Structure 1
Amino acid sequence: MRLSQLGFAARIITPEGQVVNGFGRYQDVPIWVPSSGGYKTLVSDGIDWRVISQPIIREGRTIGWLQMTQSLEVLEDIASDLPTEIFLHLPFILLSAGLGGLFLSNRALRPIRNITQTAQSITASDLTQRISYQGADDEVGELAVTFDQMLDRLQSSFEREQRFTSDAAHELRTPLAIIKGRISLMLSRSRTRVEYEKTLQDLDQEVDRLIRLSNGLLLLARLDRGQLPITFTTVDLSNLLEILVEQVQPLAAARQIKLVSDLPPALWIQGDPDHCTSLFLNLLDNAIKYTPEAGQVRIWTSDRQPNSEHEVRICVSNTGAGIDPQHLPHLFERFYRTASARSQGHNGVGLGLAIAYQIVRLHSGMLSAESEPGRETRFTVTFPRCDALSAKHTVS
């Protein structure tokens, strides 16, 4: 479409108002010689013309004017036809908008539907379903990813609880079966006083094992729920460990085991004294239990390691058969006992190291195990070191 058909025109006029040249319907536009550049609306034969004037300057004086004009009649015709055009095209516009909105809403809500379907398909026996979102990194995508992460945590928690329940039932069944069997055997016929006393002693040992097992289970359950009372204070591990070494010395001496303490003074940490006592008594008792007669148990500090100025490392080692490397990754699992431990008849329940591991974790520390089969086994406890100056200030 040509500009003239849209109502546009242009002309050049002299300062006296004579038209020099032009195009379009410039002859229908009234003559107007402006005093300065600008806009003006002129009327001719009932038609409004919008005129913009720009001076033509040569050597500092105005020699003419360039005027661009447009008939407002065309715009008025377009405006008057607009409602009709809109009405005629409205169904198509609404249909296009509806289809486009439906497409966009389906695309935007697809992850939400996936979340809903996944949530409906999840049961206590099947927590493996995931959304596996692949799409834009927006709020919906973040919701889907967060939902999958929550399911990962729930699945791990359920599997851990199921494994814990199964292991606990298995461990409880054995001593209960022994107690039931001994009682049934004693009731099968009359027994002598000596036989009754011997059976009661055996039953007493099994009851003690049940008590240790139930106490361990209760402690682990409270650790898992974060309900274990813990009071952090400044603890001098050197002093605490020397006291514990004296307490377990009779156990070592009874089996002619050499108990060696090689600890420097003033090993300060922030911790709970009671839980630290349980931790190291567990490790020392474990070391003595699995050390052959005339062997050696040693407790010492390892300061020749990176970050030793920020950490306290306590090692508990014992000579003996050691632990097969395949068992090391599982030592801190609940109820885990090596085949050699079971065959040697040790009356542990497999919870001690799991409890020790949780206590160390509560102190923001680490517990690790190393072993050289046939020579030595070593457990290393790492705690954040407490600043000596602040420790002295706290103690004073």
Structure 2
Amino acid sequence: MAISIVAMKNLPLGWKIALWTAFLVGASLLSSGIVAGLTLYRELIESTDQELKTDSIELFGLLTEKPASFFSSKDSFSLNINPFEESSILELSYSDPAMVYKSPLLAGKNLFEDHAINSFFYAQLGDGLYRVFYTEKNGYKLALGKKMLSIYEILTEASYAYLLSAPFALILSTFGGWWISRKALLPIRQMTSTLEQIRASALHQRLSIPALDPDLKRLVTILNEMLGRLEEAFQREIRLTADASHELKTPLTILKNELESALQRTDIDCQTEKTFLNLYEQVQSLSSITQTLLFLSNLDRDSSFIKPTRIDLSQILNEILEDTAILAASKGITIEKQLPQSTPMIADEDLIRRLLWNIFDNAIQYNISGGYIGVSLQLKGTDRCLLQISNSGPVVPEEERKKIFERFYRGKNATEHGISGHGLGLNLCREIVLAHKGEITYLIDEKGHNQFSLLLPTGCGNESEKKN
């Protein structure tokens, strides 16, 4: 039972509605079947009772009209009684002992005992149950009965017919409920599809409000109001980041210039020079953070910041890998690549280069001496390419994998091994990929190494379609 409840909870809403519909239809069929069976049984009993009354009246009429011929001989008596005893029992009694008749099944039984006049009752005779009517008229006592077998046969046939039709009704109600739920949930699916396309850079989009359904209208209004609040909060955050980065840029530049001038002086001692050098490094670090934050805020705020052109991704990768190989050589890291000769795409070249530099810089920093970096690029259909970059460094702990793309997040591998950085590199990579309408994910490859998988639209398929 617990398993079925859990399975029910995991089903889509449409199938839940369909199954609940089938359950309600099944319960309705069961209750209506019971009521219909009881009603049919009562009507059959009433019909049988009426038939017994009619037969008794007819028999009393014959006894009144021609009693002499009715009892003139044993043969004539049996002949007159037989029409009333087809599938029935009959007991007739009169003050004259000669005028007494009992059906063969009633041998040794008296149906007149302990029953009121003009009453109906049941009697178990032989292998069957009988419905019996007891009445008196003109000195005659009459007990006339019919076997219940015919009633049971009718009820059985009706039950079989009902049970045979019930599964078809349940199947029809299940798929009918599923179809109705799909029609009813169509606006919800449309809203879900629209919401899935709303990114942080497109919070200005709103859902269309249905004109007829008041519940959906209220839901869409609430969602649009929520999107409005999110857009406002997000814009405030972008403005704050951009303004803070912009305001810090000038004093940091002044500090950097002053420190450079101070370091060029010849009248300072070694301790002062060392202090100035430390300060200069910190200012450089703050300048780098400020520039990155300003870049991210511009990327979040204005999509026109991206300048797409026709580039060759394979060529750019080869150029960057040449420089990466020089940096990787100091740690004995080898680079393995599988690149097609040419991979044309429509993208912002500066952003793509920055994206790749960040990923390869991570691949070198978070690697082991004598390790390797694997790079593969392949086309996926006519409008997408898959770039996979692996490195043999320590894998990211499972609990950190969902956080590595967050802004300012630094994992244990970085903090424990003293690797420099500010936790902005991977966040910057994600924002660049999203700006190009792509996807970036962290995986563990078949060798058990770190792997960043980038699925990027090339834009060339759409471009060729437009030309055609």
TM score, norm. by length of structure 1:
0.52
The answer to which structure has the higher strand fraction is 1
CA distance in 2, matches of 1:299, 1:373: 14
Runs of 4+ in 1 over 6 A off after TM superposition: 161-166, 388-391
CA contact under 8 A between 1:269 and 1:383: conserved in structure 2? no
Give the whole-Å Cα distance in 1 for the aligned partners of 2:232 and 2:446.
Answer: 36
Identity %: 25
Match of 2:361 in 1: 285
Q: Is the 8 A contact 1:268 1:388 kept in 2?
A: no
Please name the residue that 2:310 is paired with. 234
Aligned with residue 147 of structure 1, among 207, 221, 224:
221
Cα deviation for residue 249 of structure 1 reads 2.2
Judged with a 3 Å threshold, the aligned counterparts in structure 2 of structure 1 residues 163 and 222 are, in CA distance, closer, same or farther, namely: closer
Q: Specify which of 370, 381, 398 is matched with residue 325 of structure 1.
A: 398
Aligned to 2:281: 205
Instruction: For residue 150 of structure 1, report the CA deviation from its aligned partner.
Output: 2.5
1:327 CA displacement? 1.2
Aligned-partner Cα distance in 1 for 2:232–2:420: 29
Distance in 1 between residues matched to 2:372 and 2:231, nearest whole Å: 40
- 1:203-352 → structure 2 map (5 Å cutoff): 203-227=279-303, 229-302=305-378, 307-352=380-425
Preserved contact between residue 248 and residue 284 of structure 1 (Cα < 8 Å): yes
Could you say if the C-alpha distance between residues 332 and 158 of structure 1 is closer, same or farther in structure 2, counting changes exceeding 3 Å?
farther
Residue 444 of structure 2 is aligned to residue 368 of structure 1: no
Q: What code does the residue aligned with 2:221 have?
A: F
Task: Note the 1:1-396 alignment, pairs <5 A.
Answer: 138=212, 144-157=218-231, 193-227=269-303, 229-302=305-378, 307-371=380-444, 375-387=448-460
Q: Cα offset for 1:376?
A: 1.3
In structure 1, distance between residues paired with 2:446 and 2:409: 19
Q: Give the direction of change, closer, same or farther, for the CA distance of 1:140–1:359 in structure 2 (3 Å limit).
A: same
Secondary structure of the structure 2 residue equivalent to 1:329: coil
Task: Call closer, same or farther: CA 1:193–1:284 in 2, change over 3 Å.
Answer: same
TM-fit CA distance, 1:213 = 0.8
Aligned AA for 2:362?
N
**Would the alpha carbon gap of residues 255 and 199 (structure 1) be closer, same or farther in structure 2, given more than 3 Å must change?**
farther
From the two aligned structures, give the one with the greater helix fraction. Answer: 2
Distance change in 2, residues 1:227/1:362 (3 Å): closer
Unpaired segments ≥5 residues, structure 1: 1-135, 170-175, 184-191
Deviation at 1:197, TM superposition (A): 2.4
Write the distance in 2 (CA, Å) between the matches of 1:389 and 1:147. 35
Query: Which amino acid in the other structure matches residue 212 of structure 2?
Result: D
Contact persistence 1:317–1:379 (CA under 8 A):
yes
Alpha carbons 1:321, 1:374 under 8 Å: kept: no
TM-score in terms of structure 2 length: 0.45
CA RMSD of superposed structures (Å): 3.8
* 8 Å contact kept, 2:414–2:420: no
Aligned residue number for residue 129 of structure 1: none
Deviation of 1:308 after TM superposition, in Å, equals 4.3
Q: 1:309 to 1:228 in 2, by over 3 A?
A: closer
Residue 145 of structure 1 deviates from its aligned partner by 2.8
For 2:235 and 2:285, the matched residues in 1 are separated by 22
Shift of 1:156: 4.0
Deviations 1:209-232 (A, max 9, x none): 111111111111111112552222
Per-residue deviation at 1:340?
2.3
Give ranges in structure 2 of 5+ residues lacking alignment: 1-209, 245-251, 260-267
> How many residues were matched structurally?
238
C-alpha distance 256-193 of structure 1, shift in aligned 2 (>3 A) = farther
Residue 259 and residue 195 in structure 1: after superposition, are their counterparts in 2 closer, same or farther (change >3 A)?
Answer: farther
